[in-house]
Structure 1
Amino acid sequence: MKIKTTLTALSLLSVVAFGASAAQSVDAAQASKMTDLGAISVSGITGAPSDIEQAIADKADSKGATAYKVIGINDDNGWHATAKIYK
């Protein structure tokens, strides 16, 4: 349940807080219309959920992605998240 709440919070934050980032969070319907570039993960991030969201966006940008969809997140001993990236 905590993971669902966190994913929901991250989705909402991505719409509001990360308009300046080149890579944007997308939902499953949007992702299905894009080219799948694979998966990325980030870990050891401390702070708020917005910090992990920014780390995901930054890594997606570095891989040439224009969008990402978070597929897993855990906050055990620092944030760890996995996301699919798209172009």
Structure 2
Amino acid sequence: MTRTLALPAVLSSVGLITPFARSAEEARADRVTGLNEIGTIWVNALSEDMQDMEHIVAQKADERGASYYRIVRVQENQIPDNWRVQAILYA
């Protein structure tokens, strides 16, 4: 039983998992009223699927400590499947 408990403790200590961590969630415009805006991010990536882009935005929002994000601009660049996404981050 000690071995089972040791692995999560080791992974947590090196930053691979965090206890009770919550991922940033996408929020609609009507939901962000009253939230504290903490910044804006731009994400550029190659992807055939917009859901992949949303996942990348969520990861970047997590890295910046955001609880919520709202995608405000999506552009497909001249290269096919090359996306540029802007999101506002909220605490």
Q: How does the TM-score come out when normalised to structure 2? A: 0.68
Where 1:71 maps in the other structure, the secondary structure is: strand
- Aligned twin of 1:46: 47
2:65 pairs with 1:61: no
Q: In structure 2, the residue corresponding to 1:51 is in which secondary structure?
A: helix
- Unaligned ranges ≥5, structure 2: 1-21
Identity %: 25
Shift of 1:28: 1.4
Q: Deviations over 1:39-78 (max 9, x none)?
A: 0110023220011000100000000001000010012220
Structure 1: tracts of 5 or more residues without a match: 1-20
1:85 to 62, 86, 89: 89
Superposed displacement of residue 29, structure 1: 1.8
**CA–CA separation in structure 2 for the residues paired with 1:28 and 1:43:** 22
Aligned Cα root-mean-square deviation (Å): 1.2
Trace 1:4-15 onto structure 2 (pairs within 5 A).
Answer: none
Give the residue type in structure 2 aligned to 1:25: E
Q: Which has the larger radius of gyration?
A: 2
The match for 2:10 is none
Distance in 2 (CA, whole Å) between partners of 1:35 and 1:65 is: 10
Query: Separation in 2 of the partners of 1:53 and 1:62?
Result: 14
4+ residue segments displaced more than 2 Å: none
Instruction: Output the CA distance in 1 between the equivalents of 2:46 and 2:39.
Output: 21
